[in-house]
Amino acid sequence: MKGITLRHLAFTGPDVETANLDFVNGLNVLYGASNTGKSFALKALNFMFGGSVPLPGIEQRVDYDALWMGLVLPDGKHVTVYRAASGGAFKIFDGLLTSTPSGEEGQLLQAQHDAKRPDNLSQYLLTKIGMSGKVVAKNMNGEKESLSFRNLAPYMFVSEETIISERSPVLFSGQVIRETAEKNIFKVLLTGRDDSAVVTTQDPKLRKASQTAQIALIDEWIASLKDQLGEDAPAREAVQKQLSALEDALNSHHDTFKSRLDIIDALVSERRRTADMVEATSARLLELELTLSRFAKLAAIYTSDIQRLEALEEGGYLLMAIAGRSCPVCGAPADAQIHKHGAEEIARSHRAAAAEVRKISLERRDLELTQQSLSAEAEGLRRRLANAETELVKIERQLTDARPQEALARQAYEALSLRKSEVDAQLSVYDECARLELKRSQLDVPLSRKKGEKLAVGIDGPTAFEFSKTVQSVLSAWNFPDAANVRFDPLRQDIEVGGKERAANGKGVRAILHAAFKVATLIYCREKNLPHPGILILDTPLLTYREPLVQVKYGDLEPDEIAIQATGLAEKFYEHLASISHLGQFFILENADPPLSVRVGQNVEIFTGMANVGRSGFFPPRDLPVILSLAA
């Protein structure tokens, strides 16, 4: 698998010359005088890979406000990471840049790791190297945290203080609380396996405290429930018998209450039916009486019309009777009379009146028949109405008698139901007490971790053995004494060489062995085709080649350091790193001059510390005011 490759690190600011370091594939060396910015370069690179520690506030960088880090990603893409010198979020630009391209905003990435979001530098870089989504157990209870890119930083950036430290290269923080997580981070690197399958359990101490608190709370609940029962509470069995008796009584009273309620329901239904019949009968009777009244008036009209027509008929008859006689005035016979006196008209009127009388008589007869029929119906309705009203009164009397009986049955049933509810509640209290006492008994047992429950952390034996072989091959390539006897100590999470712990050596030897550990980690990952960032920056790994009179802070050389100087390890060290340049990128920071072969064949930069000789330091020299010290 491929890793990330550095191309440049640049500081920019208004009206100042860009401070720039360029990198090539494989081996890069920066050496020179102290206090020229070599260690500052490591801190700046760490800062640009998401470090939260602010940049050192050295005077030379005051006018620089931005950093630009050019990278080649594993897929071959060139990008530049931008960050303000004051810290904060990042921006990613395509291409290798030292200034913002016009019209391009860049991809904003937050500095804080968040495994659930892609918009942070940690997730961006983890995704690029194929380590996104990994989790590691952070304690023996299996609580997990997501792997961040900062967890890999100790395997990329090794400061001067770290490389000579007696602390394990694996347990890089020095915090006991972080040891489990740091062992598992190393395991993820060397095996590719994370702890996502680990089941989280509760810490025994926390579990015991929780258990004690739960028992105390349950005891409080039980006491409260017993207070509800009272001091003289009957036994649960007696309460259960009482409940059974109440249920039998309730069933009996329920039947009585239901039968009485059914009687009332039937009477109410009958009353409604009878009342509806009374209402319908009354309405029909009223309608008939109104019709009969109208028919009586019509009959009177018929009688009056007949009487009038009969009078006309009688008058016409008399007139017709005298029409053929001699004139009573002059005695002239009928055939001698000149005036006819309308005898024909009288005859016609007489006939018409007689016909009309017959017609009206027929109609009056039909009317009389109808009146008789309606009168008979009305009489029947009156009798039915009287019977219905009598029945309604009877039903009301029955309802009046039945309601008190139903009320008594209801009251008795409700009283029994209320008592049953009280007994049910009492039994519920007994049941809850029993449940809580069972729960308490389950909690009140000693806690112990069973054999085999202890979580396995860090690398396993076979992996440790193989890794030791890789460290051994690195030390052999460097011509380190006793390199054939390397062992990884799982207890100290460190290596032993020739039976001697790394921490038991002098500063210079500790530095070499720490460097070998980190180089071997990169090689091991590449040989196993496992992800690794692909960058390793070592500050002063060859400390054993120091000059004690010049580098006073490290003290005199110890015997093991003097022995190392006699082996030619420095030249072998550089030759080996150059030979494995295809596996990763190495950036070595040293005070001592590297061998001539390295200075000729590799990317080597020297910081002279002198303004007019070569490159003086990380930042270009600038005119500074002369500060005079006035002594008395």
Mean pLDDT of 528-533: 97
Nearest to 154 by CA among 180, 167, 137, 173: 173
Mean pLDDT across the chain, nearest whole number? 87
Q: Which residue spans of the chain are classified as CATH 3.40.50.300?
A: 5-201+454-607
Residue 128, class by beta-carbon neighbours within 10 Å (0-12 exposed, 13-18 middle, 19+ buried)?
A: buried
- Residue 134 reports pLDDT greater than 80: yes
Task: Point out the least confidently predicted range of 138-142, 189-193, 327-331, 390-394.
Answer: 327-331
Query: Is residue 195 helix, strand or coil?
Result: coil
pLDDT given for residue 411 in this prediction: 87
Kindly calculate the radius of gyration of the chain based on its CA atoms and give it in whole angstroms: 60
pLDDT given for residue 557 in this prediction: 54
- Give per-residue burial for 307-332: e unless 16+ CB within 10 Å, then b: eebeebbeebeebeeeeeeeeeeeee
pTM higher than 0.95 = no
Please indicate whether residue 395 or residue 123 has the higher confidence score (pLDDT).
123
Pairing of strands 157-158, 486-489: unpaired
214 — pLDDT class (breaks 50, 70, 90): confident
Please tell us whether the domain made up of 5-201+454-607 is placed in CATH 3.40.50.300: yes
Task: Point out the least confidently predicted range of 19-23, 322-326, 396-400, 402-406.
Answer: 322-326
pLDDT given for residue 632 in this prediction: 26
Residue 374, class by beta-carbon neighbours within 10 Å (0-12 exposed, 13-18 middle, 19+ buried)?
A: middle
- Residue 611 reports pLDDT greater than 60: yes
Where are the strands (E) in 47-88, listed by range?
66-72, 78-84
502 — pLDDT class (breaks 50, 70, 90): very high
**Residue 31 in contact with residue 618, Cβ under 8 Å?**
no
pLDDT given for residue 159 in this prediction: 96
- Top CATH class, 247-428: mainly alpha
* Residue 173 token pair: 């923080």
CA distance 443 to 435: 12
pLDDT given for residue 624 in this prediction: 46
pLDDT given for residue 255 in this prediction: 84
**Residue 115 in contact with residue 133, Cβ under 8 Å?**
yes
Nearest to 361 by CA among 408, 402, 307: 307
- Residue 205 reports pLDDT greater than 70: yes
Task: Point out the least confidently predicted range of 347-351, 507-511, 518-522.
Answer: 347-351
Please indicate whether residue 441 or residue 576 has the higher confidence score (pLDDT).
576
pLDDT given for residue 309 in this prediction: 81
- Residue 222 reports pLDDT greater than 90: no
pLDDT given for residue 631 in this prediction: 29
Nearest to 138 by CA among 210, 228, 198: 198
Mean pLDDT of 397-419: 86
The DSSP element (H or E) to which 370 belongs, if any, is helix 343-443
pLDDT given for residue 209 in this prediction: 82
**Residue 42 in contact with residue 157, Cβ under 8 Å?**
yes
Task: Give the strand order in the sheet containing 66-72.
Answer: 19-22, 5-12, 66-72, 78-84, 90-94, 107-109
Task: Point out the least confidently predicted range of 211-220, 345-354, 406-415.
Answer: 345-354
Distance of CA 90 to the CA centre of its chain: 29
